[in-house]
Amino acid sequence: MSSFRPRIYCADAFADLEGLITERCAAIITDPPYSERTHKGSSALTTIPYASISHAQAEEIGRTFARVCVGWVCVFCDHTMIDTWSRALASSRRYVFAPIACVTIGRTVRIRGDGPASWTDYLIVSRHRTKEFSQWGALPGAYVGTRGTAPASERERQAGDKSDALMAAIVRDYTRPGDLVVDPFAGSGTTGAASVSLRRRFLGLEIDPDRARTSDRRIGDFYDSMSWLYPETKRYG
Ligand SMILES: C[S@@+](CC[C@H](N)C(=O)[O-])C[C@H]1O[C@@H](n2cnc3c(N)ncnc32)[C@H](O)[C@@H]1O
């Protein structure tokens, strides 16, 4: 990546990630598909429009994340995959922390059957055992958000996408201005938008061509609208 301009490539994280990272990857912050159990369990009202991920796939790509990233790796998952992601992210001599609950007050994922069910996403975070990443203060015990009313940009989103506020909190906690943040499962580009707004550089991969095109355009336009405000960010190019 030779310029600061954020990009979301239409690419397969499993096949293309290592080839697309051509400079120091300070952080991987990503929200891959969840387990088959979660995908099958979503109601007709919240059908997830992409395939689930297997434990073997999570293990494989988690090891790749641990190898290619110099700083924090932060991966969302459901409760059934906590152990798999934790094991994979502990490779390459990394330290893995206790899962961080990400709770959205008022959110329910099931409105039929035996009643509304609450839902908690988990964030698995890991870092190398080096000084550079060991003195960043305390990790939060949880990320708590509220449902609220979705602004126009949020209404375009798909089931499974994260809120702007949550992704901004995570980008702020695990990266610094000027860092290159990579999201190999970029979806609607929420990690990218948070990274741009906080003056981090961004590289994303998304396998769905329509989503990749739309999200790439969205974060590019967002970057253009932000760059008059922070002209000095150009120096990262
Ligand atoms: C949970 S969504 C990400 C949502 C994102 N965090 C957001 O809030 O906008 C997971 C995304 O991963 C994409 N995906 C699935 N398999 C992929 C692969 N092998 N390579 C890249 N992207 C993939 C899906 O198409 C989907 O858009």
* Average pLDDT of the residues in 203-214: 97
Task: Give residue 235 CA to ligand 1 midpoint distance, Å.
Answer: 30
Is residue 14 within 6 Å of ligand 1 at its C-beta? yes
Task: Give residue 187 CA to ligand 1 midpoint distance, Å.
Answer: 4
pLDDT value, residue 151: 53
Cβ-contact 222, 228 below 8 angstroms: no
Is residue 58 within 6 Å of ligand 1 at its C-beta? no
Q: Which pLDDT band holds residue 1 (cuts at 50, 70, 90)?
A: very low
What number of H helices and E strands is found in the chain?
A: 8, 9
In angstroms, the first-to-last Cα distance of the chain is 9
Q: pLDDT digit string (tens) for 119-138?
A: 789 999 999 888 777 766 67
pLDDT value, residue 220: 94
List the residue whose alpha carbon is closest to atom 13 of ligand 1.
185
Residue of 185, 218, 222 to mutate, ligand 1, most atoms within 8 A of C-beta: 185
Residue of 203, 206, 210 to mutate, ligand 1, most atoms within 8 A of C-beta: 206
Does the pLDDT of residue 237 top 50, yes or no? no
According to CATH, what is the number of the domain 7-236?
A: 3.40.50.150
Q: What's the whole-model pTM score?
A: 0.91
Is residue 34 within 6 Å of ligand 1 at its C-beta? no
Is residue 60 within 6 Å of ligand 1 at its C-beta? no
* Average pLDDT of the residues in 202-211: 97
- Contacts of residue 114, defined as CB under 8 A and 6 or more positions apart, other chains included, come to none
pLDDT value, residue 157: 64
Return the structure tokens found at 68. Answer: 């290619």
Enumerate the domain spans of the chain.
7-236
Q: How far is CA 107 from CA 104, 110, 141, 160, in A?
A: 6, 9, 19, 12
* Average pLDDT of the residues in 170-177: 93
Q: How would you classify the pairing of strands 100-105 and 120-128?
A: antiparallel
